[in-house]
Amino acid sequence: MIKKVLITLMVLAFSVAMFAGCGTKTTTTAAKVGTAPEGSEIAIEKATMKFIKDTNEGKYKLLSTEELNTWIGQKKDMIIIDTMPADNFAKGRIPGAVNAELPKTVMADVTDAQKAVFIKLLGQDKSKPVVVYCGFVGCARSHLGAVIALEQGFTNVYRVPGGIIAWQEAGYTVEK
């Protein structure tokens, strides 16, 4: 009798294990989809909304990471300004870039000293392309830089949305 019960229990346990195994195999996790599957879509939307608002208000042009790399390859005569803090700039920048830190908030937060350094880097040739970048799409430093350049009368002002993070992700040369 005991032997029968034991055999029944073993068969039951084996069946449960088998079904559980089948279950694991069939319940595969669906791959996440989205603009950047590893990222949060809501965060991307939020950054996009702000980016479009800034771009519309700023009235500057946009330049992609890939386009900037082409321009650098063509040795185009331009000024590239990195608006990240100096320690970030020292750790890695787009080749040929110069540094003028700007705040990541609003124009009212730009100090006189920051503005003076930025304007000095622009030089005198108002038709020369000015390319401004910062960290990534959600970063507003480059927006402020592009607006200051336009205010100073520069006519070819570009903002690179993806900044240094996109540049690194693209695998392009980083200057240190």
Residues 107, 143: contact at Cβ < 8 Å?
Answer: no
Tell me: does residue 168 bind another protein (CB under 8 A): no
Tell me: does residue 111 bind another protein (CB under 8 A): yes
C-beta of 153: minimal distance to another protein in Å? 24
Tell me: does residue 84 bind another protein (CB under 8 A): yes
What DSSP character marks residue 39?
S
What DSSP character marks residue 175?
B
Interstrand relation of 130-133 and 79-82 (parallel, antiparallel or unpaired): parallel
Question: How far, rounded to the nearest angstrom, does the alpha carbon of residue 68 sit from its chain's CA centroid?
Answer: 15
| CB of 57 or CB of 109, closer to another protein | 109
Neighbouring C-alpha atoms within 13 Å toward the C-beta of 61: 12
C-beta of 116: minimal distance to another protein in Å? 10
| CB of 77 or CB of 112, closer to another protein | 112
- Binding region for another protein (CB under 8 A): 43, 84, 86-88, 104-105, 109, 111-113, 135-136, 138, 165
